Amino acid sequence: MLNNSLKQKPDDNEKIVIKKESKNYLPWVDIMRGSGIILITIHHFGLHIFLGLNVLPIDFLDNIFYYSVIPVFIFLSGYTIYINYNQISSYKTYFRKKFKYIIPNYLIWGFPTSFFFLSFTLSYNFDPISVLIATILSVLTGNIWILYFIFIIIQLYIIYPFILKIIDKLKKPFIFFIIYLLSLLILFIISIYFIDLVSIAKLTIAIPLKYNYNLNLYYLRYFPISMNYLEYLSFFIFGILCAKYKSVISNLKYHKVILALLIPLFIFLYIILSGYHANPLMWAPSSQTNNIQTRFVEYFGWFLNILAQIIYLFILFSFFSKIKFSSNMIEKEKIEKSEIKLKTKKSKFKWVKNNIKLILWKIGLYSAGMYYMHFIILYFVLSFQNRLYYDLNSNLYLLFLIRLLGVLFVLGISYLLVHILSKNIENSRYIVGI
């Protein structure tokens, strides 16, 4: 809770102050979001490719970033929606509040993001009319490189009232969740013998472009028929359950023992599943889909991936939810630091730790807007950097440094633009989510 002295600061953003005074506000959620948006930018910038420097496989690094980003944000969406809407008295009011801002955000950023991505991808095969048609269809079907996540969240928000009804009626919702996971396993096993889910979900529309180039849009990629939608639904429900039983989880008598057992289990699953992305419809090689053995590897592998990521989410939730943070505490420590010198190592470490929390918290506040706009900024930065790569291909360390500076630049500009827009535009929430 922010006090009156902080409210009266001339440089405070009044919208942020109001948001933070909400009784349901959880600072650790924004700290977690801040960490996530940094990892998203690193991943989209391709910086993780250089982190291995031929030591770690790219698939291994890809999974690290995937596990740390999309499942986390979907989990937080489930967690926060239950905190704010654990009872729905009016469906009309619920839908109006939930979609009042998210749909304008999606449309405002969806069209330019899709257009820039398609233009960047097609390069010399660029055909304005075809790309414009593809852009419209991409937005309508949620087939946008980074904003597909928002399209998924919209779908999950639509079905949330039905999930809430089921959970409220069950005496032991975690048993229901286990049944849900077992039903997924049964679905995957049935699919191995009778259905090729990957092929069904890859129904496409071909848009003829110039130079005999075809652009395939995965029209049903993010609809309920797809395996990855069922996976995202798993994270969403798990977030809801963690919110419903947060006090029980935090007060578990053997919580530390459970974590000590789960961490090595997750590491084991992660190692054996390395190379499996959680989005098989985009990345899984399905050229031999009629082969039962191949289907078993693909479908059962993704089921194990769901389990691994749920374990990972529980570990992260256990860590972040215990973070103690308030902006008052940080402001107080800044004043103390200006008045007295930090003498002990312990006090210096505490000051550094709290300032890291502060940075992540501030980034987390603007994470929605940064997520929307970072790709367009990244597009121009990468276009500029690509001109330098031809002469620097032999020097991996220099390339890494250039990309690192690029990541910091994109994060900094995204944060600054969201801050300016949110501070100076009355209805900025329609544009940048805050």
Which residues pair with residue 208 across a beta bridge? 214
**What is the reported pLDDT for 10?**
43
Alpha-carbon distance of 12 to 344, in angstroms, equals 32
| H or E segment to which residue 38 belongs | helix 27-45
The closest of 274, 101, 303, 77 to 182, measured between CA atoms, is 303
pLDDT computed for residue 221 by the predictor: 39
Q: CB-based contacts of 17: which residues, under 8 Å, 6+ apart?
A: 2, 6, 7
pLDDT score for 162: 92
What is the rounded distance in angstroms from the CA atom of residue 368 to the CA atom of residue 432? 6
pLDDT at 282: 39
| pLDDT score at 3 | 41
Across the chain, which has 434 residues, the per-10-residue mean pLDDT values are 40 60 81 91 73 55 71 94 91 91 91 80 66 80 78 91 89 82 80 65 53 43 54 90 86 82 87 57 42 69 83 92 74 53 67 85 92 84 70 66 85 93 88 86
Distance between CA atoms of 414 and 367, rounded to whole angstroms?
9
pLDDT at 33: 94
DSSP bridge partners of 213? 209
Instruction: Determine contact, residues 106/432, Cβ cutoff 8 Å.
Output: no
How much is the pLDDT for 358?
A: 87
Residue corresponding to tokens 């994109």: 410
